[in-house]
Chains A and B, each alone.
Chain A
Amino acid sequence: MEALVASAVGVMTTAGIFLILRRRTFPVILGLSLITYAVNVFLFATGRLALNAPAVLNKYEDVPYTDPLPQALVLTAIVISFGMTAVIVMISLSAYLSARNDHIDMNAQDNTDAAGDDA
């Protein structure tokens, strides 16, 4: 179980970092999504892994339970990363539509800043 979760986090992070270093927006966004998945799984594991255990305390008998707080954290993290991914998709789409290419890096002309009036 531990090995499975750990390798899942590791593989997704590795793939995510690889994709983030690409030069087009689409793989970068995919990479960011993969990394957010990895962090979500990682957050689950921070409360220690417990199988088949409820996330509530039982005051009548001593049964194993799993830490509920990471689940709340994961929920927040999922919502935020979902929203952020939507935002970056929209911004990249409009950048693509107005610049007619989806390179993540700015080319030499762009690099002369917003006013674009450098020689």
Chain B
Amino acid sequence: MNHWIVAPIVLPAILAPFIIMVLRYHLDLQRIFSVAGVVGLLGIALTITAQAAGGDIQVYELGNWPAPFGIVLVLDRLSAMMVLLTALLALPIVLYAIASGWDDRGKHFHALFHFQLMGVCGAFLTGDAFNLFVFFEVLLIASYGLMTHGGGAVRLKAGVQYVAYNLLGSTLFLFALGTLYAVTGTLNMADMAVRVAELPAEDTALLRVGAVLLLLVFCIKAAVLPLHFWLPASYANAPLPVAALFAIMTKVGAYSILRMYTLGFGPEVEATQGLVGTWLQPAALVTLAIGAIGILGAQHIARMVAFCAIASMGTLLVAISLFTEAATGAALYYVYHSTLATALMFLVADLVVERRGGAIAPTAPMPQSGLVSALFFVGAIALAGMPPLSGFIGKLLVLDAARGAPDANAIWAVVLIGSFVTIVGLARAGTLIFWKSHDAQHIGDGSQGDVAEQPAPEPNPALALTSVFGLVLGLVLLTLFAGPALTYATKTAEQLYTPDAYISAVLGGEE
């Protein structure tokens, strides 16, 4: 067996308790180990991506129990690229958190950060539905800690809502898994796919219930309307570097939809025919619209970026809900862009909030206004999907893939008008925050509330800006190397739509 596959889970799983138990009182050492851990994770992710790029699907049997009896981890192109994205995202964020002093505003930031990475990587790699639930819980419980990091009454209240909502989501997940287990008698995803296909047509009522419940759970994670209500309050009130990391959490939901519904409950399976496409696509379009409107209406920059995250999830899920190879390839390219761009915008929002408070209204000019506004401009271009950055390519691919779809007109209209509204909203915010401030010096002293209550202890602006520029660099590289990235994404989509290879790799029994 190839032990690299389990390494993205084992490394943070060892590092996080080590940080809590040994380095508890040594913030500097915590920072060193945490960054080293993320760099190590990046190395592992690159290694497994290189291994998966050949197209082989590798299976890791935990405890050497053969599937479907034991839990397996499965490494294919999709899981490798998602783990790589997690590591690529984590590095600038952990550097930014250190540089901005956020990790010092509460306890155990780095330990929770690594538990979160463990949960995310595990969710991407696992091939077992119940194990997916467990990794969801791991990443959620770490996110509860990170979300309330630093405290403050408003953040804690938002935290209670976030925890309650997700606890309910987890319960729903258990109901869904129970139903599916009752019908299929297995929890291994590949085995489940085989048994779903064999199920006699008259026994599929419960299966459909289970599949819809599961879709609801993933839609909660992916913040699809009408299950998105947790996201704006949580992300806007979380520490903003943490919100940047949470950009990958919504993608876990999108990944799970893609995985489960291409493997087991796809449109071609008779039992669940028409379930996902029928419901997901309109919901994704409305999500996109609501996100764009939210951007236009937000009064606070963090809330605006949270709505940007919703809008980009909408675009992503529109592409996923088409369930064709070309559309999925486009979605996989877009998922990289969307994650990096959303994280970039959250970090820029944090730069703004730390310097002048987050209200989208004229206040006194802030220090380094030119540099921050340039970064905001880059992030806005990326998120709105304007040339020359990768958002443009991503949206173009999505629109191109939607051309032959039955609802192509609706998709084109919503995506294009949504992008336009996003541009207007971001332009409005940028103008009010960066330009109007210069002729509004009398308005106020940029009074800050909860977020900036404690002065940042010795922030390191150079490193903070460097890590933000790292994300910009990621977007530029994604644009420059769009060809190779898209080739990889297309091959990944091909692999996803030939689930037989996945199933025989898992159930074949060879090591």
Contacts and interface: CB of A to CB of B under 8 A. Distances in A.
Are the chains A and B members of one assembly? yes
Nearest to B161: A104
A95 B177 CA distance: 33
A87 B302 CA distance: 26
Contacts of A48: 182
A7 interface: no
A85 B164 CA distance: 9
B160 interface: yes
A79 B160 CA distance: 20
Contacts of B446: 117
Contacts of A47: 181-182
A115 B448 contact: yes
Interface in A72-114: 73, 76-77, 80-81, 83-85, 87-88, 91-92, 94-95, 98-99, 104, 106, 110-114
B451 A35 contact: no
Interface stretch (B166-174, B311-319, B479-487): B166-174
Q: Which of B130, B171, B450 has the most CB of A within 10 A?
A: B171
Given A113-B358, A115-B449, A98 B152 contact: yes
Contact of A115 (B137, B159, B168, B357): B357
A116 B168 contact: no
Contacts of A20: 164, 168
B160 A92 contact: yes
Given A80-B170, A106-B157, A114 B182 contact: no
Contacts of B137: 80, 84
B335 interface: no
Contacts of B448: 115, 117
B237 interface: yes
B181 A46 contact: yes
Contacts of A116: 154, 449-450
Contacts of A76: 130, 134
A98 B156 contact: yes
A91 B302 contact: no
Contacts of B163: 84, 87-88, 91
Contacts of A42: 174-175, 178
A63 interface: no
A42 B130 CA distance: 15
A87 B205 CA distance: 36
A69 interface: yes
Given A46-B182, A91-B144, A117 B158 contact: no
Given A25-B160, A114-B236, A94 B178 contact: no
B359 A115 contact: yes
B300 A118 contact: yes
Q: Which of A70, A77, A117 has the most CB of B within 10 A?
A: A117
* Secondary structure of the A contact surface, majority rule: helix
A98 B148 CA distance: 13
Interface string B67-102: 000000000000000000000000000000000000
Interface string B140-165: 01001000100111111111110110
Interface residues of B, number: 50
A46 B302 contact: no
A70 B211 CA distance: 19
B116 interface: no
A28 B164 CA distance: 8
Contacts of B361: 118-119
A113 to B, nearest CB: 4
B168 A39 contact: no
A43 interface: yes
A98 B167 contact: no
A106 B154 contact: yes
Contacts of A117: 357-359, 446-449
A91 B234 CA distance: 14
A32 B156 CA distance: 18
Interface string B449-490: 111100000000000000000000000000000000000000
B141 A84 contact: yes
Given A39-B174, A42-B175, A76-B130, A114 B152 contact: yes
B424 interface: no
A78 to B, nearest CB: 11
B260 interface: no
B30 interface: no
A81 B137 CA distance: 9
Given A87-B141, A95-B153, A95-B159, A113 B178 contact: no
A27 B52 CA distance: 49
Contacts of A94: 148, 151, 156
A113 B300 contact: yes
Interface string A24-35: 010011001001
A25 B167 CA distance: 14
Q: Which of A35, A46, A70, A104 has the most CB of B within 10 A?
A: A46
Nearest to A111: B233
14 contacts: A20-B164, A48-B182, A91-B163, A92-B160, A94-B148, A99-B154, A104-B164, A114-B155, A114-B237, A114-B450, A116-B450, A117-B446, A117-B448, A118-B361
Given A114-B158, A114-B236, 18 more contacts: A43-B174, A46-B179, A46-B181, A46-B182, A83-B141, A92-B160, A94-B156, A95-B157, A98-B156, A106-B161, A110-B157, A113-B236, A114-B302, A115-B353, A115-B450, A116-B450, A117-B446, A117-B447
Q: Which 4 A-B pairs have the closest CB atoms?
A: A116-B449, A95-B156, A99-B153, A46-B182
